[in-house]
């Protein structure tokens, strides 16, 4: 192991030395990158763009619409983009439609810097290279917890008890906030909590839904119990609306994304006193489980299949420079990098704690997106007290099955 | 006008509409009749940064072959239209058969996503459209009576609700109406109810969306009516005055009949726009309490990680049918008028 | 109606003044609030603690040392080069309005003057076209546009916006031309003009009021469009609205909301000047002409 580390570190140095002079070792080709639009991905694309030279052209398009664009853009021949930067969920349509190529040959030739954990393997073939991780976790107010003699919660029961203590002590009426907005957000919360139970969403090997059981009920009841300690406006809570509430000192616990922890802990932000008294911890477990209730996500890149081998090779090499340790050295705080030599910052502690606690990855199943949508549309009525948990799960199942039939996963 | 001249004038416009709207509508209609091929799945060992799992994946090569043979997918007829996510024919039949009273039928039907969205869409359309027409008319009449120097700035400020990008407009409004925002807090103190929240209660969310809709669209009606007011024949007004009609009577018996065709035009456009409402639902994070047909389409196509093109196509076609049904009375009137028109 | 004989009674004047003042407040207040807030930091303008913070600005004082800050404007225009997006919007809007109006005027005129049954059906078809949700249309465009290699260009977006806008433009201008007396162009034709000459010599000079009103709505549609521009433009060609959306951040990433606010406010200012500049044309234009359904 030590040996591998050494060689890859040396290799990285060689690559970077080459980057300055010979354009990352690429002779010619066109690199066209499609990605989402946020700082960490800009950093990666910037470094990939350093490979530009006389024979090598690097263009990029960072847009929030990348999910809608990627399938049509990669379907045509030659594809509009050679590199698609994706995440755990957005790789699925590319895989399903056979639009990305296996990377094993390129890794053998140019991928010395990669750690084995960065390789996303599907059925033995490496289809993507992951370079950063993300997950939800807990942000809490150290000062309030200390004043009220509360230990940092590790599961939902402890969180609810802590919230009750804060309420009973008259500190605050609604101490919790979590992204419960209907749609993608609430579904993500359900997925997080459900993963903590250790159960699977589907019958093994099939697209048959398997959440109508005691685990599903337990998760729903936990989420419902949370709403008791959340301001009734929780129906509008997403990442953007919760942060100001936390900064206003209205809540003691916020369940949020690892990528947003930096803003919570920012002592130069609008609420330095609160930021200074904030801590991050692993996501909470459900019931008796000790698995942190957070889906682990990765961001990575893929190479299109409908392009010339020359461009594919050039793209892979350019992206190797994009996700190089040098890039990470310049942007150590932009993300929880999966790149060799990463040293977690304070803001990354929550995500790292999830990893160490054995949190489970977001399922990369072809039909998971359909379930996510079905969950997002059908849980709110139960949480608002308008229908029973059984009915909510039945609605989810009905919506999922309809969609899965249309998409050809169920008959 | 001879056919040839007519065509010479209209072809660019017609060509653009056929190419970019008519053909896509036909293809969407076609698509709504098909569903994806049955996915051929194989067991695979998936590995990533967080460990390995035995999962299934789509057999890409086999699927590719299927798609080459039949690119449109499997023919499904009207199956997508009648499935539980759309018209839910079977579910309705079952609900009617097994429910005990009307209330239960209503509640259970309202639990079906399509009908839930349809009810809000219709409520929004029928409440906002008339209010927009009335408010726009009143503003137009009043603005018309102010001194000319003020008209320019007043028109500009009246247009602001339409001009400010809805993206940011609704974000700012959303912050103003939350329980700590300036409007939310003001309402709480007016009603003396500290728990009042415009965003938490479904009923108040509906009201908020209606108010936003009227606010956002009133300028449109205002401008059109204002333009129309300039052309009300002065002599008719004056002769009404000679007959002793007061201000209100003049508006009622001269101005309103004259502007009626305009009101029809505004009504037509507003009915359609309101029936397609969805931006405010996103902007106000209102999806918990209110969804619309366009929201369902957006949800299928854009919010979802795996887009459901067939489902979105079916909802789109149903939207068109819905608009047509709404417009039938207006269209019949237009048809009669058209036939009266000398050619 | 500025006839001195129609002198208004005092209560009515008071009532209409009160009404217009209230309406202007309702219409303009959110914008004025946004304009004020654009000079504060996010912690104040979007404060959950107390909306008064947006007025007094404690966090602005704390973070920047002054009562007002230009950070949002600097960030948007200098750091994020928002002027490029503004330029793209300018190009898209100008061409969309010009082309829409040209096609719409010709088509609307023909529809208004031809008495054949098919004109009715064309108008009805235009209504159906307008009923189609734009999200569905745009999703359908993606694949063909990529295949033809025309995706991402401003020209493509302009053409799509013109087409999507056409039903409304046609309807509005058709209604408008109905209110221009037929005798006008028919007289010209009796004098030996062709239809085009009659249109050019007799109709064009009197059509501006309706065209300007229609142009205003075409302008707003192109200017505010998000669905089409977000999906059909590549990053370097992005217009203002999608760029503002990207300032707002996403679930995983905190956005630069104040950049968005500053961008919106500064994007409105040229409109104010534009409307003041064209105020005469709009007001007098509207006064001279008519729109009739």
What integer pLDDT is reported at residue B251 of this predicted model? 83
Residues B173, B106 within the same domain = no
Q: For residue A59, give Cα distances in angstroms to A30, A31, A45, A52, A233.
A: 8, 6, 9, 9, 43
Residue ranges of domains in chain A, CATH in brackets: 2-134+296-353 (3.40.190.10), 136-294+367-406 (3.40.190.10)
Chain C interface mutation, best of A65, A276, A351, highest count of C Cβ atoms under 10 Å: A65
Gap between the Cα atoms of A173 and A165, Å rounded: 10
CA nearest A166: which of A233, A253, A277?
Answer: A253
Return the residue of A nearest to C235 by Cα: A61
Q: Which of A123, A361, A368 sits opposite B48 (nearest CB)?
A: A361
Residue with the larger pLDDT of the pair C110 and C280? C110
List the single residue in B42, B179, B299 with the smallest CB-CB distance to A373. B299
Nearest beta carbon to residue A93 from set B202, B299, B306 = B306
Residues B91, B150 within the same domain: no
- Cα A283-A286-A290 angle, rounded to 5 deg: 70
Between C289 and C97, whose confidence is greater? C97
Average pLDDT over chain C reads 85
**What's the token pair of residue C129?**
């076209």
Same domain, B99 and B116: no
For A408, the closest of B38, B284, B299 (CB atoms) is: B38
C254: distance to nearest CA of chain A, Å?
6
pLDDT band for position C282 (50/70/90)? low
Q: Can you tell me the mean pLDDT for A312-339?
A: 93
Residues B81 and B104 in one domain: yes
Our CA-based measurement puts residue A21 at a distance from the nearest CA of chain B, in whole angstroms, of 32
The nearest CA of chain C is from the CA of A336 a distance in Å of 13
Whether the bond between C129 and the residue before it is cis, its omega within 30 degrees of 0, is: no
Whichever domain contains B308, its CATH number is 1.10.3720.10
Q: What is the pLDDT of residue A224?
A: 96
pTM of the model: 0.90
CA dihedral A370, A375, A378, A379 (to 10 degrees): 180
pLDDT tier at C280, thresholds 50, 70, 90 = low
Task: Indicate if B221 and B295 belong to the same structural domain.
Answer: yes
B195 has a chain A CB within 8 A of its CB? yes
The pLDDT, as a whole number, for residue B181 is: 84
Q: Which residues of B touch C116 (CB under 8 A)?
A: 1, 3, 6, 343
| Count of CB atoms situated within 10 Å of the CB of A249 | 16
Last residue within a domain, chosen from B62, B85, B111: B111
Q: Comparing C181 with A376, which gets the higher pLDDT?
A: A376
Q: What is the mean pLDDT of chain B?
A: 87
* Interface touch B83/A361, C-beta < 8 Å: no
Q: What's the domain range around B83? A: 77-111
Does A231 contact chain B (CB < 8 Å)?
Answer: yes
* Mean predicted confidence (pLDDT) in A222-231: 95
Closest-CA residue of chain B to C242? B167
What are A391-401's pLDDT values in tens digits? 999 999 999 99
Q: Does C250 touch chain A (CB under 8 A)?
A: yes
The tens digit of pLDDT for each residue in B181-217 reads 888 888 888 988 888 888 888 899 999 999 999 999 9
DSSP string, C19-70: HHHHHHHHHHHHHHHHHHHTTS-HHHHT-SS-TTHHHH-HHHHHHHSSSS--
> Which residues, listed in sequence order, are joined to residue B46 by a DSSP beta bridge?
A122, B53
Residues 6+ apart with CB under 8 A from A337: A131, A132, A133, A328
**What residue spans of C179-207 are helical by DSSP H?**
182-190, 195-198
Please indicate, yes or no, whether residues B222 and B82 belong to a single structural domain of this protein: no
In the block, residue with structure tokens 């009227």: B214
Does B231 contact C175 at a Cβ distance shorter than 8 Å?
no
**Rounded CA gap, C208 and B210, in Å?**
34
Sheet hosting strand A278-281, strand order edge to edge: A176-178, A253-257, A136-141, A278-281
Please calculate the CA angle A411-A408-B65 and round it to the nearest 5 degrees. 125
Q: Please, which pLDDT band fits residue C3 given cuts at 50, 70 and 90? A: very low
> Does residue B56 belong to the interface with chain A, where contact is any CB pair within 8 Å?
yes
The tens digit of pLDDT for each residue in A127-168 reads: 999 999 999 999 999 999 999 999 999 999 999 999 999 999
Q: N- to C-terminal Cα distance for chain B?
A: 9
Instruction: Give the lowest-confidence range in A28-32, C7-11, C165-169.
Output: C7-11
Say if the Cβ atoms of B176 and C33 lie within 8 Å: yes
* Structural domain includes residue B322: yes
**Which residues, 6+ apart, have CB-to-CB distance to C174 below 8 Å?**
C107, C108, C111, C112, C123
pLDDT > 70? residue C239: yes
User: Among residues 126-155 of chain B, which lie with CB inside 8 Å of chain C?
Assistant: 138-139, 142-146, 148, 151-155
Mean pLDDT over A341-345 rounds to 91
Residues B106 and B251 both lie in one domain:
no
- More confident site: A187 or C114: A187
Q: Chains near C, with 3+ CB pairs < 8 A?
A: A, B
Provide the pLDDT for residue B253.
84
β B41-48/B51-58 pair status: antiparallel
CB contact under 8 A, C107 and B144: no
Q: What pLDDT score was predicted for residue C142?
A: 92
The domain boundary, picked from B69, B89, B111, lies at B111
- A239 CB neighbours in chain C (<8 A) are 249-252, 254
- Inform me whether the C-beta atom of residue B192 falls under 8 Å from chain A C-beta atoms: no
Q: Are residues B121 and B183 in the same domain?
A: yes
At the top level of CATH, the class of C81-288 is mainly alpha
DSSP B88: -
Whether the Cβ atoms of residue B174 and residue B284 lie closer than 8 Å to each other: yes
Q: How far is A286 from chain B (nearest CA, A)?
A: 20
Q: Residue A157's pLDDT is what?
A: 95
Interface test with A, best of B58, B79, B177, B297 (most A CBs within 10 A): B58
Domain-wise residue ranges, chain C:
4-75, 81-288
Interface check A275 vs C, CB under 8 A = no
Q: pLDDT, tens digit, for every residue of A28-52?
A: 899 999 999 888 999 999 999 999 9
Least reliable range by pLDDT among A115-124, B48-57, C32-41, C123-132: B48-57
Whether residues B170 and B313 share a domain: the answer is yes
- Claim to verify: residue B252 and residue B295 sit in the same structural domain: yes
Chain B contact set for C125 (CB, 8 A): 17, 22
The CB-based long-range contact list for B52-55 (8 Å cut-off, 24+ gap) reads: B52/A121, B53/A361, B53/A363, B54/A204, B55/A363, B55/A364, B55/A365
Could C139 and B166 be called an inter-chain contact, meaning their C-beta atoms sit closer than 8 Å? Answer: no
Total number of domains in chain B: 2
Does B89 share its domain with B129?
no
Residue where a domain terminates, one of B111, B136, B165: B111
């Amino acid at each position: 192991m030590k040996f591998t580390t050494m060689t890859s570190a040396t290799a990285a140095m060689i690559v970077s030395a080459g980057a300055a002079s010979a354009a990352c070792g690429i002779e010619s080709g066109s690199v066209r990158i499609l990605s989402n639009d946020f700082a960490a991905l800009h950093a990666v694309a910037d470094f990939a763009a350093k490979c530009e030279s006389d024979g090598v052209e690097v263009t990029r398009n960072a847009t929030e619409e990348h999910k809608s664009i990627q399938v049509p853009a990669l379907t045509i021949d030659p594809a509009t983009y050679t590199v698609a930067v994706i995440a755990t969920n957005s790789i699925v349509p590319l895989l399903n439609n056979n639009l990305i190529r296996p990377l094993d040959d390129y890794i053998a030739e140019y991928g010395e810097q990669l750690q084995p954990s960065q390789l996303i393997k599907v059925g033995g073939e490496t289809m993507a290279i992951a370079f950063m991780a993300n997950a939800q976790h807990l942000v809490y107010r150290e000062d309030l917890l200390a004043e009220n003699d509360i230990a940092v919660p590790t599961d939902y029961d402890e969180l609810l008890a802590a919230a009750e203590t804060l309420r009973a002590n008259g500190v605050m009426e609604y101490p919790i906030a979590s992204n419960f907005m209907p749609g993608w957000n609430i579904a993500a919360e359900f997925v997080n909590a459900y993963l903590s139970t250790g159960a699977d969403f589907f019958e093994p090997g099939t697209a048959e839904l398997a959440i109508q059981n005691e685990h599903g009920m337990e998760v729903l009841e936990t989420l419902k119990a949370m709403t008791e300690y959340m301001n009734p406006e929780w129906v509008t809570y997403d990442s953007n609306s919760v942060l100001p509430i936390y900064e206003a000192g209205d809540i003691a616990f916020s369940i949020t994304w690892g990528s947003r922890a930096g803003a919570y802990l920012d002592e130069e932000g609008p609420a330095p006193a609160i930021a200074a008294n904030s801590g991050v911890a692993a996501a909470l477990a459900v019931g008796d489980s000790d698995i942190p209730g957070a889906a682990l996500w990765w961001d990575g890149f893929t190479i299109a299949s409908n392009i010339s081998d020359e461009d594919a090779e050039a793209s892979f090499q350019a992206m190797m420079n994009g996700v190089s340790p040098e890039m990470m050295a310049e942007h150590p705080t932009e993300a929880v990098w999966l790149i060799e030599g990463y040293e977690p910052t304070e803001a990354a502690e929550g995500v790292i704690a999830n990893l160490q606690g054995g949190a489970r990855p977001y399922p990369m199943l072809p039909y998971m997106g359909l379930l996510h949508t079905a969950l997002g549309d059908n849980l709110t009525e139960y949480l608002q007290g308008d229908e029973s948990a059984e009915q909510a799960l039945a609605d989810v199942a009905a919506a999922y099955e309809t969609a899965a039939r249309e998409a050809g996963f169920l008959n | 006008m001879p056919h040839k001249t007519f065509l010479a004038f209209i072809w660019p416009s017609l060509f653009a509409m056929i190419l970019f709207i008519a053909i896509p509508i036909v293809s969407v209609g076609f698509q709504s009749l098909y569903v994806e091929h049955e996915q051929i799945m194989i067991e695979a060992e998936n590995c990533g940064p967080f460990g390995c799992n035995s999962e299934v994946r789509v057999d890409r090569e086999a699927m590719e072959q299927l798609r080459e043979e039949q690119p449109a997918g499997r023919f499904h007829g009207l199956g997508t239209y009648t499935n539980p996510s759309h018209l839910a024919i079977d579910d309705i039949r079952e609900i009617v058969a097994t429910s005990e009273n009307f209330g239960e039928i209503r509640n259970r039907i309202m639990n079906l996503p399509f009908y839930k969205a349809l009810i809000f869409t219709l409520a929004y359309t029928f409440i906002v459209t008339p209010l927009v027409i009335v408010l726009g008319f009143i503003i137009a009449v009043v603005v018309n009576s102010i001194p000319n120097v003020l008209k320019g700035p007043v028109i500009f400020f009246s247009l602001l609700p339409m001009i400010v990008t809805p993206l940011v407009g609704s974000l700012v409004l959303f912050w103003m109406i939350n329980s700590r925002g300036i409007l939310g807090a003001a309402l709480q103190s007016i009603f003396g109810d500290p728990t009042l929240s415009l965003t938490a209660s479904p009923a108040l969310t509906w009201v908020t969306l209606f108010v936003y809709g009227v606010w956002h669209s009133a300028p449109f009606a205002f401008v059109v009516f204002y333009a129309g007011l300039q052309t009300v024949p002065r002599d008719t007004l004056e002769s009404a005055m000679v007959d002793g009609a007061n201000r209100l009577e003049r508006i009622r018996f001269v101005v309103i009949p004259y502007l009626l065709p305009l009101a029809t035009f505004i009504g037509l456009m507003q009915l359609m726009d309101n029936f397609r409402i969805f931006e405010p639902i996103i902007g106000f994070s209102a999806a918990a309490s209110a969804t619309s047909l366009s929201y369902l389409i957006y949800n299928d196509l854009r919010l979802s990680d795996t887009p459901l093109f067939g489902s979105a196509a079916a909802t789109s076609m149903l939207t068109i049918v819905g608009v047509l049904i709404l417009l039938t009375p207006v269209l019949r009137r237009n048809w009669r008028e058209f036939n009266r028109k000398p050619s | 109606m500025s006839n001195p004989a129609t002198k208004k009674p005092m209560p009515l004047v008071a009532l209409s003044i009160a009404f217009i003042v209230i309406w202007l407040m309702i219409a303009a207040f959110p914008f004025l609030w946004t304009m004020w807030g654009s000079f504060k930091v996010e912690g104040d303008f979007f404060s959950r603690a107390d909306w008064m913070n947006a007025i007094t600005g404690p966090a602005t004082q704390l973070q920047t040392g002054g009562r007002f800050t230009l950070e949002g404007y600097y960030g948007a225009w200098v750091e994020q080069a928002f002027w490029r997006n503004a330029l793209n919007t300018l190009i898209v809007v100008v061409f969309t309005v010009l082309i829409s109006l040209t096609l719409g005027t010709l088509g609307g005129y023909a529809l208004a003057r031809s008495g054949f049954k098919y004109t009715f059906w064309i108008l009805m078809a235009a209504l159906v076209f307008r009923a189609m949700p734009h999200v569905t249309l745009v999703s359908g465009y993606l694949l063909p546009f990529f295949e033809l290699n025309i995706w991402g260009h401003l020209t493509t977006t302009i053409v799509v916006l013109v087409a999507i806008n056409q039903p409304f433009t046609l309807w509005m201008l058709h209604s408008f031309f109905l209110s221009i007396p037929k005798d006008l162009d028919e007289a010209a034709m009796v004098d030996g003009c062709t239809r085009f000459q009659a249109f050019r010599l007799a109709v064009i000079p009197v059509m501006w009021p309706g065209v300007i009103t229609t142009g205003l709505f075409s302008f707003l549609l192109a200017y505010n469009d998000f669905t089409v521009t977000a999906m059909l433009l590549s990053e370097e060609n992005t217009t203002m609205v999608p760029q503002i959306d990207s300032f707002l951040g996403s679930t995983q990433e905190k956005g630069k909301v104040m950049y968005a606010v500053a961008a919106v406010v500064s994007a409105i200012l040229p409109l104010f000047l534009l409307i003041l500049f064209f105020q005469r044309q709009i007001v007098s234009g509207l006064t001279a002409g008519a729109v009739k359904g």
